[in-house]
Amino acid sequence: MTADDRALRALTEHVEQVALVDHHVHGTWAEDGDPVALANALNEADTEPLADPATAWDTQLGFAVRRWCAPLLDLEPHASVAAYTARRAELGEPEVARRLLGAAGVDAWFVDTGWSTGLTSPDGLAALGGGTAYEVARLETLAERLLPTLDDPGDLAETFAAHVEETAATSVGFKSVIAYRCGFGVDLDPPAPRAVAEAARRWADGVRDGRAPRLDDPTLIVSGLYAALRTRRPLQLHVGFGDRDLDLAAVDPLLLTPLLRRPEVRGVPVMLLHCYPYERAAGYLAQAFAEVHLDVGLTTHFLGARGVGAVARSLELAPFGKVLYSSDAAGPAELHLLGARLWRNAFATVAGGWVSSGEWSLDDAVRVASMVGRDNARRVYLGVDL
């Protein structure tokens, strides 16, 4: 074996055994999924049931499921879709989840609990996959739960701020889906208290049977961001690729620049999630603003074999101490496994190439793998300095 082969093997072995911190993830299916539900879960962008579920399998993600998940269910790599779905049904959801989640090699799950229909709780996820679960609270969900309990919706801002402060005691961070609700092309300065009170009263007019309508008012959403910033906890923002409820053109992270310049953001970690196809813009922001961090979760498993490109682009302008691993898996445990599997594959390929060409040392590649896979998240969210 040449010295180059030995270096690549050492890097791959290290990347394989990094106990990951998945800093943005959701629960896995709590009940048995059927083949149609699985096919629909392999498409993120279309919010309608797929006209032809078979189309979901002829994709990078579909191929990656058959390549990497099939062997964990005792099938050959690239097993047919029919064989895969039959074996899945035979094993049942809890056993599929135990096998796939366990093989992801995740030590800590930071679970967004804002959308949890049919999914395991954070502890339920950790019980199946091992490791420890932590909660990340979604601001818009907190507000939607709070509104119907208020005597005067005009008090929303004050009550919400107190509620967020309390929630900070049990959450490692906050998440906003402003991308989905109004996009980033809105006024991101702190709204005046009177404007917030008026917007809250308008929103409360839509409450029916004790349930708030979906929060999509930019004034209230932006006011909520500032409430979260005051807690100093990391603030996660969905950026880029998601389902078609969002306007992809309005979620370019460069549109967040006015917010990132605000004094209220100073010293508060801002975590840009997913980022595709804006990962280069996110990398620029990570260099421009001390607070900005990014990941390419969701992107990695949807790009399958091309996840290599996304992981490489995440390691362009951004300082390596500000790039984090996440899966953004939700639902079938295939996604939790593939987030980890494809990130490990891609990191070893990308950094291995730089070690081979002499651009990076093996020691540096090993160190950056640990930073991105684990240590950056532990430092930013848990205050663990290594």
Nearer to Zn ion, 154 or 183 (CB): 183
Shortest Å distance, C-beta 327 to Zn ion: 9
Alpha helices in the chain (DSSP H): 3-17, 35-41, 60-64, 81-91, 93-103, 122-129, 139-146, 156-167, 178-181, 193-204, 218-231, 257-260, 279-288, 299-303, 307-314, 333-356, 362-370, 376-382
Shortest Å distance, C-beta 64 to Zn ion: 18
Provide the 10 A C-beta neighbour count for residue 324.
Answer: 29
10 Å CB burial of residue 209 (0-12, 13-18, 19+) is: exposed
Nearer to Zn ion, 140 or 328 (CB): 328
Provide the 10 A C-beta neighbour count for residue 210.
Answer: 8
Nearer to Zn ion, 35 or 277 (CB): 277
The interface mask with Zn ion, positions 77-116, x = CB under 5 A, is: ----------------------------------------
Shortest Å distance, C-beta 45 to Zn ion: 14
The tokens describing 18, both together, are: 């990094």
Contacts with Zn ion by CB under 5 A: the residue count is 1
Shortest Å distance, C-beta 26 to Zn ion: 6
- Phi, psi (deg, nearest 5) at residue 168: -60, -20
Which residues are paired to 106 by β-bridges? Answer: 20
Q: Identify the residue whose tokens are 């421009």.
A: 288
Shortest Å distance, C-beta 307 to Zn ion: 17
Shortest Å distance, C-beta 274 to Zn ion: 8
Angle at 23 between CA 20 and CA 27, to 5 degrees: 95
Calpha distance 280→304 (Å, rounded): 19
User: Which region, judged by CB under 5 A, interacts with Zn ion, from 184-192, 262-270, 325-333, 336-344?
Assistant: 325-333
Among 140, 328, 334, 375, binds Zn ion (CB under 5 A): 328
Which residues are paired to 137 by β-bridges? Answer: 174
Nearer to Zn ion, 7 or 342 (CB): 342
Residue 22 binds Zn ion, judged by CB under 5 A: no
Nearer to Zn ion, 12 or 236 (CB): 236
Nearest CA to 111 among 96, 129, 99, 94? 129
Shortest Å distance, C-beta 238 to Zn ion: 7
Nearer to Zn ion, 252 or 328 (CB): 328
Closest residue to Zn ion: CB criterion: 328
User: Which region, judged by CB under 5 A, interacts with Zn ion, from 77-85, 327-335, 355-363, 376-384?
Assistant: 327-335
Nearer to Zn ion, 113 or 345 (CB): 113
Distance of CA 148 to the CA centre of its chain: 29
Residues that bind Zn ion (CB under 5 A): 328
